[in-house]
Amino acid sequence: MPTLTHFDAAGQAHMVDVAGKPETQRRARATGTIRMRPETLVRVEAGSAAKGDVLGVARIAAIQGAKRTADLIPLCHPLALTRVAVAFELDGAASTVRCTVDVETTGRTGVEMEALVAVQVGLATVYDMLKAVDRGMVMDGVRVLEKHGGRSGDWVAEPDPGPRADWPGPATTSED
């Protein structure tokens, strides 16, 4: 099993020294969904949310989230991102919005965290834009889909098997 690089020999957290690593092209893709009532999704599709263009604002928020990751995650290195692409997919049958983010840089460390933070900020922004009409929205399935570059090379996630039987699952409320 690989060692955890964010801990020194004494077990204390530290920022990993990447100075000796070569700069390489790094890419990562992450995704997640937000589930809402069908009538809420209709507002997203129609562009009729009271706060305006839900997906347009969420796209900008996701990009900003990727750029600010080092400010939010204590041991992340600040990175000069070369590309952040945000895509939203609406699924009427499931009443969900899926956010997928691709992040790229040329650097000494990967961009998985930037992709994950971007997805979560994008989804949280969708929630914020729609909470007046649907406070019961649920965000889930946030995960890295793939990463490329660096010493460890390429990695692609297995297909999502869905909820795990050994997990208690999300808490529910009377609004769900």
46: Cα within 13 Å, side-chain hemisphere: 9
Place of tokens 């997919």: 89
| pLDDT tens column, 24-34 | 899 999 999 99
Q: Catalytic pick from 91, 128, 154, 160?
A: 128
pLDDT reported for residue 137: 97
Provide the pLDDT for residue 22: 80
Residue 72's pLDDT is what?
A: 95
Q: What is the DSSP string of the chain?
A: -PPPTTB-TTS-B-----TTSPPEEEEEEEEEEEE--HHHHHHHHHT--TTS-HHHHHHHHHHHHHHTHHHHSTTPPP--EEEEEEEEEEETTTTEEEEEEEEEEEESS--HHHHHHHHHHHHHHHHHHHTTT-TT-EEEEEEEEEEE-STT--EEPPPP--S-TTS------TT-
Assess whether 176 carries a catalytic annotation: no
> Which residue in 57, 61, 111 sits closest to 82, CA to CA?
111
The whole-number pLDDT of residue 69 equals 97
pLDDT at residue 15 in the model:
72
Domains in the chain, ordered, with CATH?
Answer: 24-149 (3.30.70.640)
- Ranges of residues in the chain with a pLDDT under 50 are 172-176
